[in-house]
């Protein structure tokens, strides 16, 4: 199924953010597992109900797949920042073995996003729409900061 056909089924799947998330997920798929998968299936691990999240234990290290999803989410936001402002955005993510940490995105010498991460074991959203809304909010704030401090962002 082509991206266009999927986008016709649910308009949110054709948005820049969702398309970027698919690119990020395909980038970490070194074995080609996602080849031929529809967008909904590739991004399905990002969507969980509250009940599903409660069932995930927060004891022990977050698994590699969860860490990859966190990185893909913030990499997608950084990529969209670059697309908008034409300056390199660098995501930096540090997560402890307990599932706590921080996500930063810098543009030049400017920190445009600083997010504290908690319970990374349960990193997910209620729906694709909620995931996109969260990303849009973070992207909007980041672009506003860049607009307010273009000289620092350009360093």
59-82 per-position pLDDT tens digit: 889 999 999 999 999 999 999 999
Cα-to-chain-centroid distance, residue 79: 10
Query: What would the CATH number be for the domain defined by 3-153?
Result: 1.10.3100.20
Quote the pTM value. 0.91
* pLDDT confidence of residue 58: 86
d(C-alpha 138, C-alpha 12), whole Å: 17
- What's the mean pLDDT in 119-136? 96
Q: What ranges do the domains of the chain cover? A: 3-153
- What's the mean pLDDT in 43-63? 93
* pLDDT confidence of residue 2: 40
Phi-psi region of 47 (alpha: psi -120 to 50; beta: other; left: phi over 0): beta
């Amino acid at each position: 199924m082509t991206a266009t056909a999927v986008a016709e089924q649910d308009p949110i799947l054709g948005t820049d953010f969702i398309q970027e998330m698919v690119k990020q997920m395909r980038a970490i798929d070194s074995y080609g597992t996602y080849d031929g998968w529809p967008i909904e299936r590739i991004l399905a691990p990002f969507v969980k109900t509250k009940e599903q999240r409660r069932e995930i234990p927060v004891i022990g290290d977050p698994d590699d797949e969860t860490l990859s999803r966190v990185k893909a989410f913030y990499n997608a936001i950084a990529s969209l920042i670059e697309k908008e402002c034409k300056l390199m955005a660098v995501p930096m993510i540090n997560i402890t073995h307990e599932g706590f940490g921080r996500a930063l995105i810098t543009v030049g010498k400017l920190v445009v996003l600083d997010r504290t991460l908690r319970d990374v074991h349960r990193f997910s959203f209620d729906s694709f729409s909620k995931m996109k809304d969260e990303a849009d909010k973070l992207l909007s704030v980041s672009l506003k900061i860049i607009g307010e401090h273009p000289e620092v962002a350009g360093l």
